[in-house]
Amino acid sequence: MISNRLREESKEAHILLEKQVVKVLKKIRSDQDYLKMLEKFYTYFSQVEKAIAPFLTTEILPDYGERRNSTYIGNDIRELNGTIPNSVQITLPDINDIYQAFGALYVMEGSIMGGRTIVQILEKHNVTKGISFFSGYGDDTMKMWSVFTETINKLPRNEADGDSIVQAARETFSNFGRLFEESNVLDEVQG
């Protein structure tokens, strides 16, 4: 199954990104610190969503319209009295077909799975507003993940399709990590 292959073959890039996000989370002490992190998430997610949109439909993923997206991050930014960041030039994964789109979406949906941990870390520092995106799908989070993995597992027709999905996931993790590095978000968040 491609979901198992994705987990294994993108593990290194996933762990690197996770470490970068956790470093930032550990420095957050205020809503303003958290807002800086949310801006990075919004910048990346909104642009990746635009890149995958031509390839994803409700015919392929029936609940696509119900899935969390950068709109939720934008709402969280506004709840913290922030402003939606202007679109800046960032490095995106190559997304030229449905397989690459699903590889990128795997990373984005996976971030929701880790959202509960993020919310718990934030709560330790009394940051409790603007967490709708990371709150995931509530009690339906595992169900939504299951639907996603069932769909992605049906997708590849051959090894090359699977390779394309995995490569896009790796690039999505790595490019998102670079956004955290390049922006010096660690320096911006005053912990």
Q: What is the dihedral of CA 33, 37, 39, 41, to 10 degrees?
A: -160
Please tell me the pTM assigned to this model. 0.91
Residues in Cβ contact with 38 at an 8 Å cutoff, skipping those fewer than 6 apart: 73, 76, 77, 80, 82, 130, 133
Rounded to whole angstroms, the Cα distance separating 164 from 135 reads 30
Q: What is the pLDDT of residues 3-51, one digit of tens each?
A: 999 999 999 999 999 999 988 988 999 999 999 999 999 999 999 999 9
- pLDDT at 191 > cutoff 50: no
Q: What is the pLDDT of residues 170-184, one digit of tens each?
A: 999 999 998 877 555
Reduce the DSSP state of residue 38 to 3 states and report it: helix
State both tokens at 165.
């999905």
Q: What is the pLDDT of residues 137-166, one digit of tens each?
A: 989 999 999 999 999 999 999 999 999 999
Rounded to whole angstroms, the Cα distance separating 25 from 48 reads 22
Which residue, among 15, 24, 16, 20, has the nearest Cα to 127 in the 3D structure? Answer: 24
Instruction: Write down the pLDDT at residue 188.
Output: 59
By CB neighbour count within 10 A (0-12 exposed, 13-18 middle, 19+ buried), where does 134 fall?
buried
Residues in Cβ contact with 168 at an 8 Å cutoff, skipping those fewer than 6 apart: 93, 94, 95, 99, 100, 101, 102, 103, 104
State both tokens at 105.
């979406």
E strands within the chain? none
Q: Looking at residue 30, what DSSP letter applies?
A: S
State both tokens at 143.
């169900």
